[in-house]
Chains A and B, each alone.
Chain A
Amino acid sequence: MTTPTPHSPLAGPADYLDQRTGIGNAVKGFARKVFPDHWSFMLGEIALYSFVVLLISGFFLTMFFVPSMALVTYHGPIDSMDGQLMSEAFASTLKISFEVRGGLLMRQVHHWAALLFMASIVTHMMRVFFTGAFRKPRELNWLVGFVLMILGLLAGFTGYSLPDDVLSGNGLRITDGVVKSIPILGSYLSYFIFGGEFPGEDIIPRLFALHVMVVPALILSLIALHLLFVVLHKHTQYPGGGRTDKNVVGFPLFPVYVAKAGGFFFVVFGVLALMGGVMSINNVWSYGPYDPSPVGAGAQPDWYMLFLEGSLRLMPGQPEFVIAGFTLSLNVLIPAVVIPGLLFSALALYPFIEARVTADKAEHHVLDRPRNVPTRTGIGVAIIVAFVILAVAGSNDLVATHFAMSLNAITWALRVLFFVGPVVAFIVTKRICLALQRKDRELVLHGHETGKIVRFANGEYIEVHKPVNEEERWLRVNYAAHRPLEIEPAEDARGVRRKGYKADRRWQKLSSFFYEDRVEPVRPSELHSADEHGELESGTQQPALER
């Protein structure tokens, strides 16, 4: 799509469009825009494409779904439910599954796409976190992505409940219980959501409006903002020769990424179609319509809600207190509101905290190798471990039945693990990162082992090392090992106490936590002195020194 020649059949339409929109400027700027290439950059793409699949399959479903809790008597292909009273929402879900051609496929594709949407958002977030892609100038885009993740949870939650089956109805009932635990406002918030007492007759139409209008509109506009930021900032790139904070190295949008990314959309959609075709999900007809009395054991929410479920399951019941006649249900409030609140706040604020303790004001476009920022990597793994432990706790009954273990013992073990696991994960991860950094130093200074053993005339054996080449060395030495903050003393020259010293001191302590342990990259002078020891192939023949 460069300027069409007069002979091109596109010349006419292009000229027409440009005279009315000036689109030539945009095409000139965007058509050959450069994007770097790496598999991990496709995680965000998967999220985008599964959202498009959600819109397509979701549109199909809205053509047939009836968001109403009015009761109807079922007469349809499922004999076991003939004559049963159920909401129109549930009846229309059955109709979509059994009477609309391709309806079951679209329902299953929609559900799988929702799971993939959340999974790709979370893994994309991990990639951004561990590579430091959230650093200046991208902090705001991290926040946009964070809000998108929350909206994704909301979209999943509102959609999950729409079929009005037993499983999702109990999910709503849990929501009601959690909302009621909120001090002072709880009962009123429950009425606000359900239009009266649970379950009432309003919740399905309300969730439907949120699910098909409000939440997708917000997601769509924030995706636009997210991508606008990517264009403004230009994509980050992994470190390597010739890749700096002042350039972007990769392939042009047109034609390479039009083909690759466009093709990848079809791959994602194709995989989801296959999943919808061969893997059944949420067979609501086997659960039946919502009824407040029955509930099945082994019921699981969708994976992205498991951590909340697990958090509720792990909390012991004791901390419910009555204060001056008012009931404070900390046994619900802590696991369902406080813990997720802390986890999410930590995620949202992390870029700002790290920037503060690093005192780093520069723009960063070259990504970090996770090992080069051991504390960040450790924190990231600790958060993932906490999340996974809660998710396992959310399936503790399945763990118990599959492995024939005591449910109570599993619960107790997970209670302990929730506190111990993240700490251990942090320490181990940080140590592994530091060890990898030392290994990098070792390689740069002493080269690769070759397996070649040389025997000297005096009978001494050594192994010859092969020096790393320039590119490999650059990869291993091109990083900054940050140091803890240095702050001004508590008192100035005249002995007057400085305002803000205490706050500075706290930041300094946090900064020490981040950067006290560090491994500096090799400098050329160190390499020269190592060379002089001569353990490299090119050097004189002397044994390597143990470091």
Chain B
Amino acid sequence: MSDREVTTTSSSEDRFVDPGLPPHKSRMGDTDPRAAKRSEMQVVILFVISIVGTIGSLLAYFLVVPDGDVASVRNANLALGVTLFLSLMGIGLAAIHWAKTLMSDHEVAEERHPMASDAETRAAALGKLQDGAKDSNIARRTVLKGSVVTAVGLFPLTIAVPLIGSVGGDWDVSKFKHTLWEKGKRLTTDPAGRPVKASDVTIGSVVQIIPEASEEERSGHSWITEKAKAVVMLVRMDPADLKESEDRKGWSYNGIVAYSKICTHVGCPVALYEQQTHHVLCPCHQSTFDVSDGAKVVFGPAKRPLPQLPIAVDNEGYLVAQDDFNEPVGPSYWERLK
């Protein structure tokens, strides 16, 4: 397989000669004044379309008034959009048609010159810089040189340090390790906040859970950040289907298990639960976890199982947490096991 063509030794003369610019082809309007007149009329018509579009747009503004619902807003949007389109497109096409049919279409050649400045200019430029350096006398004053570099290099710290000090809040990254869950905290439905009775959870059902919190807490400004860590997915299955490791034997209740909803890949909420296989899928990147087997990863880009929330039942029959998660929820980070 060789693509090298057999070539004879190349002489510099053995080259084709540039035939030069092709001859100019004249347009209809260049020779026939009536064709030119026609083109002029077409350009005028296009400009008129634009004017009509602008007037139409004002009419649309005053006549197509939405009353607030989605459909009426869509209609008003359509009217404004189409008339704006006509108004702009008329001008655009008119200008282009004008240029193409009526303006001179004789190609012109302009010379290029090499980008580099010539040797004389370079020498002169260098000379000026050298003169300047000499005038400043910087070469012999090393301490001065050092101090100017240091001063200019250091001054940005006066702005950067206060900025960096505050830009990350309190910089306490250990917050990743704790959520609102604690011993005895009730599991409540998301978003209504109703406590969940173990007896009300039927086999095969799945419930979105948040920790119990007052209405006030839930409309507070830190709630969304806490919720972003604490959301849980509650699933009940036939206890016979449930494979539990020795150390987690007491973490479920009657086939009810609770897992963090925050994917261990990059933190999307996992959502799609498949009753038959007990698989739960993260819709963002399709990491798939087996809820019946410790929420182990069965497919996709996540590595770790979803953290499990140990649960129990209080004396009124409501589901409660035994404790916080025993590991940080959500995506991996450098010091998560420290």
A265 beta carbon closer than 8 Å to chain B: yes
Q: Which residue of A lies closest to B225 (CB)?
A: A197
* Interfacial chain B residues near A260, Cβ < 8 Å: 95-96, 99-100
- Flag if A259 contacts B175 (CB, 8 Å): no
B317 beta carbon closer than 8 Å to chain A: no
Cβ of B190 to closest chain A Cβ, rounded Å: 5
Cβ of A96 to closest chain B Cβ, rounded Å: 11
Cβ of B259 to closest chain A Cβ, rounded Å: 13
Cβ of A358 to closest chain B Cβ, rounded Å: 17
Contact of A77 among B10, B69, B285 (CB under 8 A): B69
- Flag if B81 contacts A270 (CB, 8 Å): no
B167 beta carbon closer than 8 Å to chain A: yes
Known: A196-B169, A363-B115. A292 touches B269 (CB 8 A): yes
Question: Interface segment, B28-36, B103-111, B124-132, B134-142?
Answer: B103-111
> Roughly how many angstroms separate A259 CA and B46 CA in the complex, as a whole number?
14
* Interfacial chain B residues near A173, Cβ < 8 Å: 228, 266-268
- Flag if A293 contacts B208 (CB, 8 Å): yes
A104 beta carbon closer than 8 Å to chain B: yes
- Flag if A247 contacts B88 (CB, 8 Å): no
B299-338 interface bits toward A, Cβ cutoff 8 Å, 1 = contact, 0 = none: 1111110000000000000000000000000111111111
A154 beta carbon closer than 8 Å to chain B: no
> Roughly how many angstroms separate A290 CA and B66 CA in the complex, as a whole number?
27
Cβ of A217 to closest chain B Cβ, rounded Å: 18
Q: Which residue of A lies closest to B16 (CB)?
A: A477
Contact of A259 among B81, B95, B333 (CB under 8 A): B95
A312 beta carbon closer than 8 Å to chain B: yes
> Roughly how many angstroms separate A262 CA and B306 CA in the complex, as a whole number?
57
A146 beta carbon closer than 8 Å to chain B: no
> Roughly how many angstroms separate A517 CA and B176 CA in the complex, as a whole number?
57
Cβ of A76 to closest chain B Cβ, rounded Å: 8
* Interfacial chain B residues near A104, Cβ < 8 Å: 73-74, 77
* Interfacial chain B residues near A97, Cβ < 8 Å: 73
Cβ of A287 to closest chain B Cβ, rounded Å: 13
* Interfacial chain B residues near A249, Cβ < 8 Å: 21, 107-110
- Flag if B286 contacts A407 (CB, 8 Å): yes
Question: Interface residue count for A (Cβ, 8 Å)?
Answer: 136
Question: Interface segment, A198-206, A446-454, A530-538?
Answer: A198-206
> Roughly how many angstroms separate A256 CA and B80 CA in the complex, as a whole number?
31
> Roughly how many angstroms separate A34 CA and B111 CA in the complex, as a whole number?
10
A367 beta carbon closer than 8 Å to chain B: no
- Flag if B91 contacts A263 (CB, 8 Å): yes
* Interfacial chain A residues near B104, Cβ < 8 Å: 251, 256
Cβ of A282 to closest chain B Cβ, rounded Å: 13
> Roughly how many angstroms separate A248 CA and B95 CA in the complex, as a whole number?
24
A380 beta carbon closer than 8 Å to chain B: no
Contact of B92 among A267, A298, A327, A434 (CB under 8 A): A267
Cβ of A19 to closest chain B Cβ, rounded Å: 29
Contact of A242 among B21, B266, B267 (CB under 8 A): B21
- Flag if B15 contacts A295 (CB, 8 Å): no
**Residues of B58-101 whose CB lies within 8 A of A:** 61, 66, 68-70, 73-74, 76-82, 84-89, 91-96, 98-100
- Flag if A329 contacts B107 (CB, 8 Å): no
Question: Interface segment, A2-10, A417-425, A500-508, A518-526?
Answer: A518-526
Known: A320-B303, A331-B302, A332-B331. A276 touches B219 (CB 8 A): no
* Interfacial chain A residues near B77, Cβ < 8 Å: 104-105, 108, 276-277
Contact of A252 among B108, B169, B287, B332 (CB under 8 A): B108
Cβ of A187 to closest chain B Cβ, rounded Å: 4
> Roughly how many angstroms separate A336 CA and B265 CA in the complex, as a whole number?
12
A244 beta carbon closer than 8 Å to chain B: yes
> Roughly how many angstroms separate A32 CA and B18 CA in the complex, as a whole number?
26
In the complex, number of A-B residue pairs with CB atoms less than 8 Å apart: 355
B3 beta carbon closer than 8 Å to chain A: yes
B191 beta carbon closer than 8 Å to chain A: yes
Cβ of A88 to closest chain B Cβ, rounded Å: 12
> Roughly how many angstroms separate A181 CA and B303 CA in the complex, as a whole number?
13
A273 beta carbon closer than 8 Å to chain B: yes
- Flag if A317 contacts B81 (CB, 8 Å): no
- Flag if B73 contacts A200 (CB, 8 Å): no
Known: A198-B228, A241-B19, A292-B227. A181 touches B333 (CB 8 A): yes
A71 beta carbon closer than 8 Å to chain B: yes
Question: Interface residue count for B (Cβ, 8 Å)?
Answer: 106
Contact of B191 among A195, A291, A441 (CB under 8 A): A291
Q: Which residue of A lies closest to B287 (CB)?
A: A317
- Flag if A397 contacts B332 (CB, 8 Å): no
B250 beta carbon closer than 8 Å to chain A: no
Known: A260-B96, A277-B82, A292-B224. A192 touches B168 (CB 8 A): yes
Most chain A CB within a 10 A radius of its CB, from B81, B93, B115: B81
A188 beta carbon closer than 8 Å to chain B: yes
* Interfacial chain A residues near B164, Cβ < 8 Å: 192
- Flag if A251 contacts B107 (CB, 8 Å): yes
- Flag if B336 contacts A317 (CB, 8 Å): no
- Flag if A105 contacts B108 (CB, 8 Å): no
Most chain B CB within a 10 A radius of its CB, from A109, A185, A332: A332
A41 beta carbon closer than 8 Å to chain B: no
* Interfacial chain A residues near B333, Cβ < 8 Å: 180-181, 186-187, 190, 327, 329
* Interfacial chain A residues near B170, Cβ < 8 Å: 196
B280 beta carbon closer than 8 Å to chain A: no
* Interfacial chain B residues near A331, Cβ < 8 Å: 265, 301-303
- Flag if A247 contacts B168 (CB, 8 Å): no
Cβ of B80 to closest chain A Cβ, rounded Å: 5
B171 beta carbon closer than 8 Å to chain A: yes
A25 beta carbon closer than 8 Å to chain B: no
- Flag if A270 contacts B85 (CB, 8 Å): yes
B22 beta carbon closer than 8 Å to chain A: yes
* Interfacial chain A residues near B221, Cβ < 8 Å: 70-71, 201
> Roughly how many angstroms separate A331 CA and B268 CA in the complex, as a whole number?
15
**Residues of B2-35 whose CB lies within 8 A of A:** 2-5, 7-8, 10, 14-16, 18-22
> Roughly how many angstroms separate A248 CA and B92 CA in the complex, as a whole number?
26
A542 beta carbon closer than 8 Å to chain B: no
* Interfacial chain B residues near A245, Cβ < 8 Å: 112
B156 beta carbon closer than 8 Å to chain A: no
- Flag if A192 contacts B167 (CB, 8 Å): yes
> Roughly how many angstroms separate A332 CA and B92 CA in the complex, as a whole number?
47
* Interfacial chain B residues near A370, Cβ < 8 Å: none
Contact of A520 among B5, B171, B299 (CB under 8 A): B5
B265-294 interface bits toward A, Cβ cutoff 8 Å, 1 = contact, 0 = none: 111110110000000000111110000000
Q: Which 10 A-B pairs have the closest CB atoms?
A: A277-B81, A177-B266, A263-B95, A266-B92, A196-B169, A77-B68, A242-B21, A270-B89, A191-B168, A270-B88
Q: List 16 additional contacts besides A197-B169, A277-B79; criterion CB under 8 Å.
A: A108-B77, A109-B81, A173-B228, A200-B169, A249-B109, A260-B96, A263-B99, A276-B81, A292-B231, A293-B208, A295-B268, A313-B285, A318-B303, A320-B332, A331-B265, A471-B22
What are 17 A-B contacts defined by CB distance under 8 Å?
A71-B221, A78-B70, A174-B284, A187-B333, A202-B169, A240-B22, A241-B22, A252-B108, A274-B82, A277-B79, A277-B81, A292-B269, A293-B191, A325-B338, A326-B335, A331-B303, A477-B16
